[in-house]
A and B are shown apart, each in its own frame.
Chain A
């Protein structure tokens, strides 16, 4: 399996369609990401030659991209460019879409996310925060404890501790510690979204996917979540889709630009925003279309 992937990657590199270098590797082995930043980071997830179809519609075309560990990668591009589709294929939420077909490979720590990893386990390891805050209609506590309970943690003391730690990590503990038994639907939008982040953290994921997770929030809540992301990347690999280019610039280490299902360019965020190599990227970041 791994060797097959490697072969395909090599071919692509020979074709030289993108600047992305892909080194599929098992576990801890380090691979130099396209970011080529100062510190060489291991690649947490590696997408190679990904083609995705919704029935006849070709939604993602030959996408190859790496996501370095403990970094924030932003996926940008105009609506319908496929960035959300890519995000959802990383934890197989696309499986829910009828007629969705995936070719190519997505590796998580060297194992194939679609073949070697059980889907529920994949989704636990690759957590997701949605565009609209979607806390369950139950108490704050039960929301955060849902994941751990699902994965077999039943002891009250353990759950208490996980709930507190997750809420602290999501920087919302102080606001909610006295309201743990209250229904989560009574929280403000910003609080709901941070609760959803805490809920995602409670299953100890390795990667956190954020699908335009601040687009439904006010500027103050957005700022809080951006701060939080900067903190979270110390322990997690964060991949975010955003419409807001300033946000990408503020919080991400690496940026990938998508257009019409193709990944035009990926690299160090500063490079993408200051000296992009593709004129389409330059047009987009300059606000000329999209």
Chain B
């Protein structure tokens, strides 16, 4: 009896320990990121770091404003591409597709989600960038290329989350609309979609999070010039790209500035995660 109680207690402690690991991990990530990034930020000067428009490590100039703007531009562009297509595709899968078509397309969307970002990046490099170079101004490596590619990459995130929100809308709303003489499209877009609005918003926010954090694919197609782009055909450097491009050889304050870039990105992501939770909670409350 007492032996089994000991065993039970031991197992319980192990499980609690396992559960604590994720808390510990988040704490460690915060501590190490902030401890290494904030001193550099302080040394550079917070306004100079966040709002400075010149990034020239050789001259000890560390302004990441172009990269913040770059991340925002690229993400916004990706949203313009990915949100309409992803939303419409989710509506298709949830309310238009026949069983056979959905059964064919759904695994395709899952495959799209599973393809590594380096494969996307390579695809962008050998297909999208040459297309832009040949038919549009600029060198091809551009904000436009990054936005198009990221738009494709966030499709599965948006489709999956939006579709499950649409699927969760009770059929009785749809039937109620039909019974009033509304046709299928009208019923779907005026009743089912509004009823799923918070879930669809959550899908978009999740897409924003993925787009702003994406690294490898963006590096391969964005051109990576550390200046604020003047047009969508100019190159652009995101915060993520900034870290990967220079971390390999950076030292001292330069290294600190790169980690601080990571801190800024991390704060962005935390805000997005919070926003996502607020939207989700509000959806559940209804």
Q: With A91-B179, A120-B181, A123-B181 in contact, is A150–B194 under 8 Å at CB?
A: no
Chain B, interface SS category: helix
- Stretch of B89-97, B170-178, B206-214 at the chain-chain interface: B170-178
- Which chain B residues border A199 with CB–CB below 8 Å? 176, 180
Complex Cα distance, B172 from A83, in Å, reads 20
Complex Cα distance, B171 from A93, in Å, reads 13
Chain B 166-210 residues near chain A, CB threshold 8 A: 170, 172-173, 175-183, 186, 190-191, 194-195
- Which chain B residues border A121 with CB–CB below 8 Å? 181
- Residue in chain A with minimal CB distance to B186: A150
- Which chain B residues border A151 with CB–CB below 8 Å? 181
Whether, in the assembled complex, A107 has its beta carbon less than 8 Å from a beta carbon of chain B, the answer is no
Q: What's the least CB distance linking B172 to chain A, in Å?
A: 4
Are A146 and B179 in contact, with the CB atoms below 8 A?
no
Complex Cα distance, B180 from A120, in Å, reads 8
Complex Cα distance, B188 from A150, in Å, reads 12
Whether, in the assembled complex, A27 has its beta carbon less than 8 Å from a beta carbon of chain B, the answer is no
- Which chain B residues border A137 with CB–CB below 8 Å? 173, 194-195, 286
- Which chain B residues border A136 with CB–CB below 8 Å? 173, 176-177, 191, 194-195
Chain B 140-176 residues near chain A, CB threshold 8 A: 170, 172-173, 175-176
Q: What's the least CB distance linking A226 to chain B, in Å?
A: 21
Complex Cα distance, B178 from A91, in Å, reads 10
Q: With A137-B195, A146-B191, A150-B190 in contact, is A127–B173 under 8 Å at CB?
A: no
- Residue in chain A with minimal CB distance to B169: A137
Tally of A-B Cβ pairs under 8 angstroms: 67
Complex Cα distance, B286 from A183, in Å, reads 10
Among A93, A125, A147, A151, max chain B CB count under 10 A is at A147
Are B181 and A93 in contact, with the CB atoms below 8 A?
no
- Residue in chain A with minimal CB distance to B194: A138
- Which chain A residues border B190 with CB–CB below 8 Å? 146, 150
Contact of B180 among A96, A123, A138 (CB under 8 A): A123
Q: With A136-B191, A146-B190 in contact, is A120–B183 under 8 Å at CB?
A: yes
Q: With A137-B195, A138-B194 in contact, is A96–B175 under 8 Å at CB?
A: yes
Contact with A along B258-269 (1 / 0, CB 8 A): 000000000000
- Which chain B residues border A240 with CB–CB below 8 Å? none
Among B173, B178, B183, max chain A CB count under 10 A is at B178
Are A120 and B182 in contact, with the CB atoms below 8 A?
yes
- Residue in chain A with minimal CB distance to B195: A137
- Which chain B residues border A120 with CB–CB below 8 Å? 181-183
Whether, in the assembled complex, A2 has its beta carbon less than 8 Å from a beta carbon of chain B, the answer is no
Complex Cα distance, B176 from A132, in Å, reads 11
| Count of residues in A whose CB is under 8 Å from the partner chain | 28
Complex Cα distance, B286 from A203, in Å, reads 28
Are A134 and B182 in contact, with the CB atoms below 8 A?
no
Whether, in the assembled complex, A44 has its beta carbon less than 8 Å from a beta carbon of chain B, the answer is no
Are B186 and A128 in contact, with the CB atoms below 8 A?
no
Are B172 and A147 in contact, with the CB atoms below 8 A?
no
- Which chain A residues border B182 with CB–CB below 8 Å? 120, 146-147, 150
- Residue in chain B with minimal CB distance to A125: B181
Complex Cα distance, B177 from A212, in Å, reads 19
Q: With A120-B181, A185-B286 in contact, is A130–B176 under 8 Å at CB?
A: yes
Are B173 and A134 in contact, with the CB atoms below 8 A?
yes
Are B175 and A134 in contact, with the CB atoms below 8 A?
yes
Q: What's the least CB distance linking A129 to chain B, in Å?
A: 8
Whether, in the assembled complex, A42 has its beta carbon less than 8 Å from a beta carbon of chain B, the answer is no
Whether, in the assembled complex, A259 has its beta carbon less than 8 Å from a beta carbon of chain B, the answer is no
- Which chain B residues border A200 with CB–CB below 8 Å? 179-180
Whether, in the assembled complex, A254 has its beta carbon less than 8 Å from a beta carbon of chain B, the answer is no
Are B179 and A93 in contact, with the CB atoms below 8 A?
yes
Chain A 207-264 residues near chain B, CB threshold 8 A: none
Are A134 and B176 in contact, with the CB atoms below 8 A?
yes
- Which chain B residues border A194 with CB–CB below 8 Å? none
Complex Cα distance, B181 from A146, in Å, reads 10
- Residue in chain B with minimal CB distance to A185: B286
Among A122, A146, A185, max chain B CB count under 10 A is at A146
Whether, in the assembled complex, A196 has its beta carbon less than 8 Å from a beta carbon of chain B, the answer is yes
Complex Cα distance, B183 from A199, in Å, reads 16
Contact of B178 among A93, A125, A132, A183 (CB under 8 A): A93
Complex Cα distance, B180 from A135, in Å, reads 12
Complex Cα distance, B176 from A255, in Å, reads 26
Q: Which 3 A-B pairs have the closest CB atoms?
A: A124-B181, A134-B172, A128-B179
Q: List 16 A-B contacts (CB under 8 A).
A: A93-B179, A120-B183, A121-B181, A122-B181, A123-B179, A127-B179, A130-B172, A134-B175, A137-B286, A138-B194, A146-B180, A147-B182, A150-B177, A150-B181, A199-B176, A199-B180
Using CB atoms and an 8 Å cutoff, list the residues of chain A in contact with chain B: 91, 93, 96, 120-125, 127-128, 130, 132, 134-138, 146-147, 150-151, 183, 185, 196, 199-200, 203
- Given contact pairs A130-B179, A136-B176, A200-B179, enumerate 14 new A-B contacts (beta carbons under 8 Å): A124-B180, A130-B176, A134-B173, A135-B176, A137-B286, A146-B180, A146-B182, A147-B180, A150-B186, A151-B181, A183-B286, A200-B180, A203-B180, A203-B181
